[in-house]
Structure 1
């Protein structure tokens, strides 16, 4: 018998797999479309040649992911979070009046309900019970439970999360766990085969496969600092937090989002995104050691380079981030950056605009050394900066006595991007406000978002602090609260 060439054998194997996939899809569709029947169906004879796929084709094994998946699936878990929320009564202020309810014969109504969220996770440390998942799966949860592949359900301990990268770490108190080995996401290349796993739509453990469509993706309409792995492996609601693995069964990413112009619940169209495991590992290490995530910053303000700026600076194209302010004592100042400099790349990564430089900074550790390719007055130069810690909170009294009693903190990146879509450059969030303090008496409240002020322009904590170098005679803050904006005169 004439032996088949290697390409021919591969094509035959793929054809068999495609045929089986079509059969499975048809059977599932017919099962969903036809009503269930109580009576048992008559047995149907199936030819022996059609009963199952052959184990080999011309002596060659049919490719299968099953051996790898048997090793990996015990590390994949389903994550269920719950949150108790207060239900607004249609009776308004009369809902709490027992006389009103008794007089009109209105029974007591439940004031709270429990909202549940579904996601996935992956065990990365069997000894300590560490499970990685997404921040958006467990955010604001009153409790989190985890169901293992063997059916055990356990209450999980929340160890911490980072909303800016959508990574969360929880711990389960269980023995006989299986952890997944961690791979190197920096070694991924476009075209590498990957497998996504999780619990989509609550169906149970599900596996989909595809390839790496792109690496280093940013500018995606989802929240956070972005350096995504893009894949065409199906990622649907419920897959969030589950693993993306390579063909060796190594964890290379944490599934986080899929993009569909009709909304995520419309299903997957082959645009899925995962957080690189190298990034997630760094976040996990910081959460374990300190309980929080710290990031490095250059300590500068920038804006986009438009056609006018490009022409004035002698640039070939309107690209890069032009420096508008360098804070004293910052990493940028120590590196020699000056207002008017245009940053074109950082550590060899192309910088197209101000947000892309901000995204690059947000992915760097404190103390990281960054090489910047800069254009200054038409001349190219290279500067090296050692990033300093980005401040996360400020005491209002240290800025201005009229802000006494309030603390201010950075916005999470999701909120910051939403503000940009509304035309705002940025802002900051009010942390705590002491009742009866000057800030409280002026109307400032926790979680208010400050987007403008008479103290000058600002987009984040460093620029907010810098705006008080000259204290204004009258301090007015424009505040976003509950979807509406208003002005507060700070007395």
Structure 2
């Protein structure tokens, strides 16, 4: 026989509990201010002096109007020669990482700027030189002139972050003065953000606004765990989706600047990788579609020497998961040159441990840069020989020989022809291209058309370009 649950009248509930000890008896008044106030002020006091404002500018030169030589025409401008040249300006933030005056900021804050100044939190200002530019990570390092014994921010470990950790974003949004916002780590290993070749960002809901670029993302132990870099917004203001470059990536840039280098040298894999789809994962017998597939190898390169083979699946670097090419690229890029990195590799039904030597990509052949100034379609383009170092630097895959377009001057013939930075010229007039000097010589004589073969973004383009 089933019994029905007994209904209890709510009015009688106090009587049922009357004999129970009251929890109110255990309550106490706060003994101190710390018991009633939760404040991030101690963290801010420690980190704020090391967060700076970065002001960058350049004067845009315009061609002189010959009418300004006419005194009558000049009267329309109040006796002045002509209106002044416009000035391009950029405003961002930075973080002091060395007491001697090294400051880390975003590359896009100082890109193309000729005059850079830094203002400290105590209003002192210093002129600054850009000592290292790393466009691939959207980072740059400044050296302050005349600065000594500056406050420095401690560096944390971004690999130790977990979703839900409390963080603070410190910067100078809109140029109104130093501002602090609070949030949590919303996500890790975010990709497809746009400003960096290494798509591996820390996502946070701490408000990041224009001017915060280059500022600090810090943890509750007052340590730098990221450089604020970008926001997702349709209005231009913060909507709670901000991204920071992990501090473990920043460390390699700082080390290069301290060593006096003007660019960052990173380990070279010597292999082409691709992500694993669900169908590929099933075909490879993987429990889940995670890891990177080795699709090609450079003979004698580090991957080849380590014993990797085409068809291998790399799942981790030094025990840290590498679930996709972005994650693998980040893991390898944060390693210092010299020594080895341990790769966890799935080959068929076997799991292997391989040692990858951490060496930089070779500059062979030498770049031998040439800027063409002739009557060819390439006039105004700067060309360099393709080497593993150039391929790594410019993210060129799938081609081993040719000449790379390193830069294209504005309004040049090359720009109007459609030549782009990063193009690899592999053929000219149906001859294989092997060096910059070959292209220079071949385009020295004027002709009506050139047959050009270019590799761009993994595609081969054949075209007839007019002279």
TM-score normalised over the length of structure 2:
0.70
- Confirm or deny that 1:183 pairs with 2:160: no
C-alpha distance in 2, partners of 1:277/1:358? 15
Q: What's the counterpart of residue 37 of structure 1? A: none
CA shift digits 1:70-89 (9 cap, x unpaired): 333222211001123345x7
Q: 2:242 aligned to 272, 282, 300, which one?
A: 272
Answering whether residue 184 of structure 2 is matched by residue 211 of structure 1, we say yes
CA distance in 2, matches of 1:306, 1:397: 40
Which residue number corresponds to residue 163 of structure 1?
Answer: 135
Secondary structure of the equivalent of 1:118?
strand
3-state SS in 2 of match to 1:174? coil
* Inter-CA distance 445–103: structure 2 relative to 1 (3 Å threshold): farther
Indicate whether 1:63 and 2:38 are aligned.
yes
Give a deviation string over 1:94-120, Cα, whole Å, max 9, x none.
Answer: x75559989999977558421100001
More helix by share: 1
C-alpha contact (below 8 Å) 1:119/1:241 kept by paired residues: yes
Contiguous gaps of at least 5 residues in structure 2 = 1-22, 370-377, 429-433, 436-449
The yes-or-no answer on 1:141 pairing with 2:113 is: yes
Query: Are residues 1:286 and 2:263 paired?
Result: no
Q: Could you tell me which residue of structure 2 aligns to residue 323 of structure 1?
A: 294
Distance in 1, Cα, partners of 2:419 & 2:366? 13
Preserved contact between residue 411 and residue 428 of structure 1 (Cα < 8 Å) = no
| 1:191–1:213 contact (8 Å) kept in structure 2 | yes
Report what 1:220 is aligned to: 193
Residue number in structure 2 paired with 1:246: 219
Match of 2:375 in 1: none
Asked whether 1:407 is paired with 2:377, we answer no
CA RMSD of aligned residues (A): 4.5
CA distance in 2 between counterparts of 1:155 and 1:356 reads 37
Q: Which residue of 2 aligns with 1:40?
A: none
Q: Alpha-carbon deviation of 1:325? A: 1.9
Deviation readout 1:140-164 (Å, 9 max, x if unpaired): 2101011111222221122112222
d(CA) in 1 for partners of 2:68, 2:134: 47
Q: Which residue of 1 aligns with 2:15?
A: none
Q: Pick from 119, 125, 128: which aligns with 1:153?
A: 125
Residue 377 of structure 1: CA displacement?
A: 4.2
SS in 1 for 2:345: strand
* Residue 117 of structure 1: aligned partner: 90
Counterpart check, 1:255 vs 2:228:
yes
Shift of 1:190: 2.9
1:236 aligns with 2:222: no
SS at match of 1:297: coil
Tell me, yes or no, if structure 1 residue 374 matches structure 2 residue 345.
yes
Cα distance in 1 between the residues matched to 2:403 and 2:148: 43
1:339, distance to aligned residue in structure 2 (A): 1.9
Match of residue 361, structure 2, among 381, 384, 390? 390
- Aligned to 1:223, the other structure's residue is in SS state coil
Displacement after TM superposition at 1:397 (Å): 7.2
CA distance in 2, matches of 1:133, 1:237: 14
Q: Distance in 2 between matches of 1:136 and 1:205?
A: 20
- For 2:25 and 2:110, the matched residues in 1 are separated by 56
1:478 to 444, 454, 457: 454
Per-residue CA shift, 1:398-422, capped at 9, x if unaligned?
A: 9xxxx9x941474798x86xx99xx
The whole-number CA distance in structure 1 between the counterparts of 2:153 and 2:176 is 22
Structure 1 equivalent of residue 169 of structure 2:
196
Gaps spanning 5+ residues in structure 1: where? 10-54, 90-94, 434-439, 456-463, 466-473
- Give me the whole-angstrom Cα distance separating, in 2, the residues matched to 1:70 and 1:99: 55
